[in-house]
Amino acid sequence: MKSDLLALMRDANLDALLVLGDALHNPAMVYFTGVAHVTEAALVLKRGEDPILFFNPMERDEAASTGLQTKGFAPYDYRKLFEESGNNAQLAKARLLQLALTDVDLTSGRVAVYGQRDTSESFGLLTALEELMPSLEIVSDYADPVLLHARSTKDEGEIAEMRKIGEQTTEVVAQVADYLASQRAKEGILVNAEGQPITVGNVKSHIFLWLAERGLDNPHGTIFAPGAEGGVPHSTGSPDALLRLGEPIVFDIFPVQAGGGYYFDFTRTWCLGHATDEAQSLYEDVRYVYDTIMRELKMDQLCSLYQDRTCDLFAERGHPTVKEDPQTEVGFVHGLAHGLGLDVHEAPRLSRDATERDLLRAGSVVTIEPGLYYPERGLGCRLEDAVYVRPDGKMEVLAPYPLDLVIPLKS
């Protein structure tokens, strides 16, 4: 959490963090500013000091609303810099940043950089800045990012936000279940009262609206993938697809607080009316692994153990896994889980890429999402909940919701 930053920066021998970009849909910036309508900002955090937010004068009120110490870019006179650089925006922006950093006495040392920007801008800007400020060492710590380590454990305020969006998400999930249960079946297809088929597109429109009613953004869309489409983990479901009774539907929903605050991430697999034997059997294997892993999660354990354990549990039940064949496209084909927070995928990793720094620490929030995929058989199944590692070591599912496979139709 934020209070770890001082120690983390010391361990990584960093003198400062520099975060670029907007305070909207930009996790590294929002971590410090909260969601705010501040664009083209820069945040400087010198080790052991309070962060300073540089802003554009048109956004002075929004910048002030962050509660951070702020400084306007205006005195550095971008216009003049632009002219002096022969109308070269890249050079002018690098000069602007140089003036801002110099103003806060950050002219040497090791500085790690973060923030969502277009690559053409960030790469050019930082390359130019390196030339302008040779005593400054610009560090990309992507392989082992201090900021992601800090964010990988959440403080109480963050957990409160995540509980809130978890509750909102499961409310929407309940609305979807109720909507589906209220329809009828006709020749094995879900139809509405008028006998018209319900499509994946219909369901997604409702989801979009019900999320919006709660003020949630849904920038990455929603996976609502029936049958074979659910057999490919990231297939999102074709709008025209129909819903066949008995067939498993993978429903993975990952909204974010308006403007890009905290994400939630939640998956259920549903069969409408009844489950086919194949779907039921697949579900039972996934559910068995889900239950086993949930029981075995322990604070301060290495995340990689659980990826390994998940593969073993699935293999015991006769499924191919990425452990024996990293390229497999059937069976268990992905990572067990990932951290969740201002990004939908963040630290710690509970996948094949987990390292010794990926631990289930007090304050971690991770998804647990075992799944099985057999696209050729028209089958996929995944169950996903977000788990909070409480400071007392207990594991808490942040937004509990029934895991049932079958949604019985009301009529």
**Per CB under 8 A, which of residues 226..255 are in contact with a second copy?**
229, 232-236
* 386 neighbors 345 (Cβ within 8 angstroms): no
Name which of residues 163 to 222 contact a second copy (CB under 8 A). 205, 208-209, 211-213, 215, 217-221
Residues 6+ apart with CB under 8 A from 228: 375, 376, 378, 379, 380
CA dist 13 to 102, 186, 298, Å? 20, 66, 31
Nearer to a second copy, 141 or 404 (CB): 141
Extract the tokens encoding 257.
């607080």
3-state secondary structure 321-343: ECCCCCCCCCEECCCCEEECCCC
* 388 neighbors 179 (Cβ within 8 angstroms): no
* DSSP tag of 32: H
Number of residues that bind a second copy (CB under 8 A): 80
Angstrom distance (rounded) from CA 83 to CA 80: 5
Nearer to a second copy, 217 or 398 (CB): 217
* 236 neighbors 197 (Cβ within 8 angstroms): no
If you search the block for the tokens 């390196």, which residue do you land on? 130
Nearer to a second copy, 233 or 378 (CB): 233
Name which of residues 68 to 97 contact a second copy (CB under 8 A). 74-75, 77, 79-80, 82, 87-91
Which amino acid is residue 155, in one-letter code? D
Smallest distance, Å, CB 44 to a second copy?
14
* 349 neighbors 359 (Cβ within 8 angstroms): no
Q: HSE of 363 in the Cβ direction (CA atoms, 13 Å)?
A: 15
Name which of residues 368 to 407 contact a second copy (CB under 8 A). none
Smallest distance, Å, CB 118 to a second copy?
6
Smallest distance, Å, CB 396 to a second copy?
28
* DSSP tag of 376: G
Smallest distance, Å, CB 338 to a second copy?
12
Q: Which residues pair with 381 in a beta bridge?
A: 372
Smallest distance, Å, CB 102 to a second copy?
19
Name which of residues 317 to 356 contact a second copy (CB under 8 A). 326-327, 329, 333-334, 352-353, 355
Build a one-symbol-per-residue string for 113-132: x at contacts with a second copy by CB under 8 A, - elsewhere.
xxxxxxxxxxxxxxx-----
Nearer to a second copy, 275 or 379 (CB): 379
Extract the tokens encoding 341.
């927070």
Build a one-symbol-per-residue string for 297-316: x at contacts with a second copy by CB under 8 A, - elsewhere.
--------------------
CA dist 402 to 104, 135, 286, 378, Å? 53, 57, 15, 24
Angstrom distance (rounded) from CA 72 to CA 38: 12
Nearer to a second copy, 125 or 395 (CB): 125
Q: Which residues pair with 126 in a beta bridge?
A: none
Angstrom distance (rounded) from CA 245 to CA 248: 8
Nearer to a second copy, 39 or 281 (CB): 39
Which amino acid is residue 387, in one-letter code? V
Per CB under 8 A, the list member of 10, 49, 108, 142 interacting with a second copy is 142
Angstrom distance (rounded) from CA 83 to CA 104: 24
- Binding segment for a second copy (CB under 8 A), chosen from 16-24, 168-176, 241-249, 295-303, is 16-24
Per CB under 8 A, the list member of 103, 137, 141, 171 interacting with a second copy is 141
Build a one-symbol-per-residue string for 253-282: x at contacts with a second copy by CB under 8 A, - elsewhere.
-----xxx----------------------
Smallest distance, Å, CB 172 to a second copy?
12
- Binding segment for a second copy (CB under 8 A), chosen from 3-11, 136-144, 167-175, 268-276, is 136-144
Extract the tokens encoding 343.
């990004």
* 231 neighbors 380 (Cβ within 8 angstroms): yes
Nearer to a second copy, 4 or 159 (CB): 4
- Binding segment for a second copy (CB under 8 A), chosen from 1-9, 142-150, 240-248, 382-390, is 142-150
Build a one-symbol-per-residue string for 33-72: x at contacts with a second copy by CB under 8 A, - elsewhere.
----x-x----------------xxxxxxx----------
Angstrom distance (rounded) from CA 167 to CA 386: 11
Per CB under 8 A, the list member of 50, 105, 134, 143 interacting with a second copy is 143
Per CB under 8 A, the list member of 16, 52, 53, 147 interacting with a second copy is 147
Nearer to a second copy, 197 or 259 (CB): 259
Length of the chain: 411
